[in-house]
Amino acid sequence: MLRRQRRLNIYRMNWKIPKNQFKVIENKVSNSKNKQGNTTETLSSKRRFIHAYAIVDTTKAEFLQLRQLKKIVWSKPEIKFITELKKISHDNLTNFLGVNYNDTDKFYMLSTLVDRASLEDFVDDPDFTLDITFKSAFIRDILKGLQYLHKSYIGYHGLLNIQTCLIDANWVLKLSNFGITNILHNLIQDEVLKNIELINLHFYQTISPENLKGCNFGINYPMGSQNGDIYSFGIVLYRLTYRYGPFDNVSMVPKDILKGIVENTIEPVFDETLEDSSFLDLMKNCLKYNHLERPSLKTLESNIKTILHSTRGNLVDQMINMNEKYAQDLERVVAERTNMLVEAQQQTDRLLSEMLPPSIAETLKNSGTVEPKLYESATVCFVQICDFPKFMEENLPPAVMQFLNDVFNMFDEVIHNYDCYKVETIGDTYMVVSGVPKENEGKHVFVIAEVAISLRSHSLHFNVPVKPDWKLQVRIGFHCGPIAAGVIGIKAPRYCLFGDTVNFASRMESNCPPNQIQVSESTALKLMENPEYRLIKRGIVKVKGKGDVNTYWLNEHFHPTEDSSN
């Protein structure tokens, strides 16, 4: 009876996890991060990209999921093996939690989650300096884990590669997915289980040739063995040394590469310029085709100890030194990013100042709001390019856009020298104002008069690059009076002017012949206060919304100082 009880205790299946004892969590955060990328990720914040994980009681677990096709009935050796797998406990091995089966059409193998990073994350990260300190610490941790497995009842790993080498929060490397490949191989071969997705063919390049023989690539897992682990360890050494795989540069499809590995027609390519020849020899020995020629784990440990004798202290000590260097690098990066931020802010300020008057832009930046304001007097001017529809008919769109850019850039350069502000361009029309938002004590009418005369003069002498035979002609009109102004819009704010003054100025331009400057009578009377301006009465003009009004031509501005010198 006692003997029977002992047998029951041995085979007690404490590793079976019912479906109601764990929950699968889709990791949406990881998916989001993976899509966006994170170029500024630090060592401390580095995390593995995990599509999904499970919660077993209060423990986070990663899992291997397959489709279950038939009911599983474990044999006694299998129960014994999985029970021993459950007992495995070592600093360099993850904890096997158990198996969920026969509950649904899904089969799960679960182990504790190590979410910091895999060795692959560091090897494939070009910004991570994989120096001798990290290499030696990682290699020693792998060997410790393998030694424990090979001496245990489990006896092998079976799936050793840089993806199953996980680094935890304390920078300790732990081996995962050990001891399960033979069980999975048999269950898949017996059509009890089936992979949900095809296994990536590149995975098989980490498996020894003898264990690849007879394996159904993409469908089944290979069998595992201790000699196979030595070969896989050699692949890990290769990746740590060169940061790429031994067959990555072979110009063949993956299936043919695997065939070549099995038939010994393809061998790993080594860079013979490697400084440490003993390390190169060690890799070559691990990757021997004949498994009997590969070194034992004990020999490997002795050779590694000799080769890496210069690296002393644990990884935590080395990490402290590295963090000091990282802090210095971080200070440099922060300084560079600060300069970039300042430049970006300056560019934003420039763009905002081009969209809005500088004083308004500054107010928006500081307080976020600009109150509408009524100005007692300001001068609004409209400038229109004559015959623009004809120009569009005779030229292709790129030439039309270039023409507008050239003309309006010239206008911008002209008004830059005056106390005025370009409100907007609408098609072929250019709008400028003075006295808003910066009030200038009645000088605005004279400022706009100077702007109008200068714009006409520059237009008469302007050469059109896209069409040299085209003569640029403009019609100009302006009017002074009260104006309301304010910022309209949030995402694309614009400084807008409202009121009868704007409409009247627009009528002055639209009723004006080419190369003339037309002003309203009230505006002309203000200009006449300065005898240097020559104005000629045009007479009565019918203006929409105003009826018959007197208007004047502004012909030129005499400069007595220049006249007397002549």
Q: Write the pLDDT tens digit of every residue in 426-448.
A: 889 999 999 988 888 889 999 99
Give the chain's length.
566
Percent of the chain residues past pLDDT 90, beyond the cut: 59
CATH number of 379-565: 3.30.70.1230
pLDDT at 565: 40
pLDDT at 42: 61
pLDDT in the model for residue 39: 44
Average pLDDT (119-147) is 90
- Using only C-alpha atoms, what is the Rg of the chain? 41
3-state secondary structure of 224: coil
| Mean pLDDT lowest among 229-243, 333-347, 349-363, 415-429 | 349-363
| φ and ψ at residue 173, rounded to 5 degrees | -85, 130
| Residue 323 or residue 33, greater confidence | 323
pLDDT category at 309 given cuts 50, 70, 90 is: confident
Q: Which residue has the higher pLDDT, 105 or 131?
A: 105
- Span 271-284, pLDDT tens digits: 877 766 788 899 99
The pLDDT value recorded for residue 518 is 94
The tens digit of pLDDT for each residue in 58-78 reads 999 999 999 999 999 999 999
Please give the average per-residue pLDDT across 526-555, as a whole number: 88
Tell me how far apart the alpha carbons of residues 410 and 406 are, in angstroms, rounded to a whole number: 6
Q: For the ranges 204-208, 363-367, 474-478, which has the lowest average pLDDT?
A: 363-367
Cα(345)–Cα(449) distance, integer angstroms: 36
Please, which pLDDT band fits residue 223 given cuts at 50, 70 and 90? very high
Checking if the pLDDT of 559 tops 70, the result is no
pLDDT value of position 563:
44
What pLDDT is stored for residue 36 in this prediction?
41
Which range of 34-48, 318-332, 489-503 scores highest in mean pLDDT? It is: 489-503
Averaging pLDDT over each range in 8-17, 184-193, 340-349, 546-555, which range is the top one? 184-193
Task: Answer yes or no: are the C-beta atoms of 503 and 518 closer than 8 Å.
Answer: no
pLDDT band with cut points at 50, 70 and 90 for residue 544: confident
- The yes-or-no verdict on residue 290 having pLDDT over 60 is yes
Is the predicted pLDDT of residue 483 greater than 80, yes or no? yes
In this prediction, residue 227 carries a pLDDT of 97
Task: State residue 289's pLDDT score.
Answer: 95
Rounded to the nearest integer, the mean pLDDT of the chain is 87
For the chain, where do the domains classified as CATH 3.30.70.1230 start and end? 379-565
Neighbours of 311 (CB within 10 A): 18
Confidence at 11, pLDDT banded by 50, 70, 90: low
Q: Which residues contact 251 (CB under 8 A, 6 or more apart)?
A: none
Q: Terminus-to-terminus CA distance in the chain, angstroms?
A: 133
Q: Looking at domain 2-312, does it have CATH number 3.40.630.30?
A: no
Task: Give the pLDDT of residue 253.
Answer: 94
Average pLDDT over residues 513-517: 92
Task: Mention every residue, 6+ apart, whose C-beta is less than 8 A from residue 98.
Answer: 14, 15, 16, 17, 56, 86, 110
On the question of pLDDT at 346 being above 90, the answer is: no
Res 265 pLDDT > 80: yes
Does the structure show a pLDDT above 70 at 7? no
Q: Which of 212-221, 308-317, 472-481 has the lowest mean pLDDT?
A: 308-317
- Rounded Cα distance between 459 and 101, Å, is 85
pLDDT of 404 > 80? The answer is yes
Residue bearing the bigger pLDDT, 262 or 36: 262
Give the per-residue pLDDT at 186: 96
Model pLDDT, residue 383:
96
4: confidence class by pLDDT, cuts 50, 70, 90: low
pLDDT tens per residue, range 369-380: 777 889 999 999
Residues of the chain within CATH 1.10.510.10 domain(s) are: 2-312
Strands 59-68 and 106-112 turn out to be antiparallel
The pTM of the whole model exceeds 0.85: no
Per-range mean pLDDT, top range of 37-41, 166-170, 172-176, 422-426: 172-176
Q: Are strands 59-68 and 193-195 parallel, antiparallel or unpaired?
A: antiparallel
Residue 23 has a pLDDT of 94
* Pairing mode, strands 547-557 and 173-175: unpaired
